[in-house]
Amino acid sequence: MRFVIVTGMSGAGKSSVLKMLEDTGFFCVDNLPIQLVKKFVKLIMQGNNDKVALGLDIRSGQSLDELDSVLNDMKRVGYTYEILFLDCSTDVLVKRYKETRRLHPLFQEGRVDKGIEMERERLEFLRKRADLIIDTSHLLIRELKSQIDKIYVEDKNFNNFMVMFLSFGFKYGIPSDSDLVFDVRFLPNPYYVPELKAMTGMNSAVNDFVMKAEESLLFIDKLEDMLIFLIPQYISEGKNQLVVSIGCTGGKHRSVTIAKELAKRVAGLGYGIKTEHRDINKD
């Protein structure tokens, strides 16, 4: 039997994941009191359900502190389980709460960001125990579903570390969630070529123009080498996502091209890869 404990930050997508798992044939239960977890597991082990998912999170209140010993007891008895932890950056969570106008479980009348940070501290023990961590900060629902299907339907190996290559225009500001920021405004600019001005880095003509420059190839070679060195260091520190932001003036030509090319190179290293072009459709 496959028994999955779905947990993580409020607003990171736990309810959505439970629905996705249910659609794939999992028997799902959400927000079960911690005191009943062992009894629940004993019952399902005796039943005929071969796929079960249990949602547990900060809504358990003070009893959440008992979960660590409950999980240890289950291991000791021989009950096998896996923990899926859904994470998300604080900035994105705050934005989601503002959009949905929902209150944070820990701060009904205070600042949402304070509740998020308090929740992050209280859930840290679960994050450390997690078998899989999915950061949903930059994932669309369909992308999250694709990952869930790969893990729990197709049984494919999942790499916890995700590298996001994010192109942007400096005229619109540096992305606030950037871990690394690189300025490619030193590269030849297609904007000043009349037939390329209206195009973007998604167009092969723009891509060829940028990449034919010797400095472009040299820059990508050096940045690839640096990422090969840095990513394992970030992983060893417990980080599960790296946002590499590439900026040019308007975010339509050079930054898009370089972000695409870097993503192709790093894709061969075995990490999860995502590319996003924040300002490509702006004037």
Domain boundary among 134, 152, 170: 152
Domain boundary among 123, 152, 181: 152
**How far is residue 272's CA from residue 171's CA, in Å, rounded to a whole number?**
29
Name the domain count of the chain. Answer: 2
Is there a single domain that holds both residue 114 and residue 175?
no
> What percent of the chain lies above the pLDDT cut of 70?
96
pLDDT at 250: 95
**How far is residue 149's CA from residue 24's CA, in Å, rounded to a whole number?**
8
Q: How confident is the model at residue 260 (pLDDT cuts 50, 70, 90)?
A: very high
> What percent of the chain lies above the pLDDT cut of 90?
59
pLDDT at 269: 83
pLDDT at 15: 92
**How far is residue 95's CA from residue 113's CA, in Å, rounded to a whole number?**
10
CATH number, domain of 30, equals 3.40.50.300
Is there a single domain that holds both residue 134 and residue 179?
no
Domain boundary among 86, 118, 152: 152
Average pLDDT over residues 237-264: 92
Q: How confident is the model at residue 113 (pLDDT cuts 50, 70, 90)?
A: confident
Is residue 283 included in any domain, yes or no?
Answer: no
**How far is residue 153's CA from residue 25's CA, in Å, rounded to a whole number?**
9
- The residues near 8 (Cβ < 8 Å, ≥ 6 apart) are 14, 57, 84, 85, 86, 87, 88, 123, 126, 127
Average pLDDT, the chain: 89
Is residue 92 included in any domain, yes or no?
Answer: yes
Is there a single domain that holds both residue 53 and residue 145?
yes
Give me the half-sphere count of Cα atoms (radius 13 Å) on the Cβ side of residue 144: 24
Domain with 94, as residue range(s), is: 2-152
What are 84's strand-pairing partners? 6, 132
Q: How confident is the model at residue 14 (pLDDT cuts 50, 70, 90)?
A: very high
What are the φ/ψ torsions at residue 245 (nearest 5 degrees)? -100, 130
Q: Is the pLDDT of residue 104 over 90?
A: no
Q: Which residue has the tokens 């959009």?
A: 99
Is there a single domain that holds both residue 127 and residue 263?
no
pLDDT tens track for 117-166? 889 999 999 998 998 999 998 888 988 998 898 888 877 666 668 899 99
To the nearest 10 degrees (0 to 180), the angle between helices 254-267 and 214-236 is 50
Whole-model pTM over 0.85:
no
Is there a single domain that holds both residue 17 and residue 141?
yes
